[in-house]
Amino acid sequence: MALLNFKRREAPAATPVNPDVEAFLQGYSIEVMPRTAEKVENFRDLLPEGTRVYIAHIEGTPIEDMVATAKRLAADGYPVMPHFPARIIKDAKTLENWIAMYQGEAGVEQALLLAGGVAEPHGDFHCSMQLMETGLFDKAGFKRLHVAGHPEGNKDIDPQGGMKNVSEALQWKQDFSTRTDAEMAIATQFAFEAAPIIKWADDLKAAGIDLPIHIGIAGPAKLQTLIKFAIACGVGPSLKVLQKRAKDVSKLLLPFEPTEVIGELAAHTAANPDFNITNVHFFPLGGIKTNANWAIENGGASTRPANA
């Protein structure tokens, strides 16, 4: 009886990493929430050493949960940057208490300051500039303050559309950075198309706003998930990228990956070394593990958080 001759199947070759993308992803950051962080058994299995991790503070999340998440991540060796949403902070005393808790429990020394996504302020603050004006972050010795940017505008800030109010706010923050010792950068809302992002960044620079930009990118996720978040977060013209894909039935159930937008931004950065987008900031809308694995497969390693 003849033996069947089975040929050993070769494993598919790994796709070569694009060197421009690999360079562009160096120093990337990622955002978590306490409830999503709880699902991660070990961050060290997913995130390179030194990755900056933002902790999103959603309305209704107890500060104790935020601080506990910060403490866990800091203990694993990750620089932690919690959100301070102005509209959910009652007053200066509350702000001072939050800062003290983060520092005392987790050694936090950097923060993302933003207005927050609630319509009515819970207390004295309604914008990030008011948080900065308290001087409490400087008093506490915070080394780095990031502020929000909106490449496609923000209807909460400019209800009639356009970029007037958001641009004026960024100009104020640029001026703040020149009169203080704070290391600052702009962390943006996510978008899906490179051309509007590049134009926005160039327009800022032309207006004299030269803060480094950490561009928001949505990690791999189901198309329906991304569309839901994009509409909720007020993503503008680049939403059409998702809507166009949704019309293709063959792609409807496939995860949407940020390969194209990151590839185009990486190529532009390589061709324009003075481009003011310096880092990628991931929103892991399809899950932290999925996003982290995509970054790893595309050459991402966070090696610049201390000075970027």
Q: In the predicted model, is pLDDT for residue 53 greater than 90? A: yes
Distance separating alpha carbons of residues 141 and 144, to the nearest angstrom: 9
202-211 pLDDT, tens digit each: 999 999 999 9
In a domain, 172, yes or no: yes
CB 260 within 8 A of CB 21: no
Paired tokens of 193 = 């198309």
Tokens 């302020």, located at residue: 121
Query: If you average pLDDT over residues 223-235, what whole number do you get?
Result: 77
CA distances from 165 to 24, 157, 162, 169, 187 (A): 30, 6, 8, 6, 17
Domain that holds residue 120: 19-297
In a domain, 120, yes or no: yes
Please state the φ and ψ torsions of residue 259, each to the nearest 5 degrees. -60, -45
In a domain, 198, yes or no: yes
Query: If you average pLDDT over residues 58-79, what whole number do you get?
Result: 97
pLDDT reported for residue 305 = 43
CB 220 within 8 A of CB 290: yes
Please give the tally of structural domains in the chain.
1
Query: If you average pLDDT over residues 254-277, what whole number do you get?
Result: 94
In a domain, 305, yes or no: no
Can you give the length of the chain in residues?
308
In a domain, 58, yes or no: yes
pTM: 0.88
**How confident is residue 160, by pLDDT bands cut at 50, 70 and 90?**
low
**How confident is residue 217, by pLDDT bands cut at 50, 70 and 90?**
very high
In a domain, 4, yes or no: no
229 vs 137, more confident: 137
The domain that holds 159 is classified in CATH as 3.20.20.220
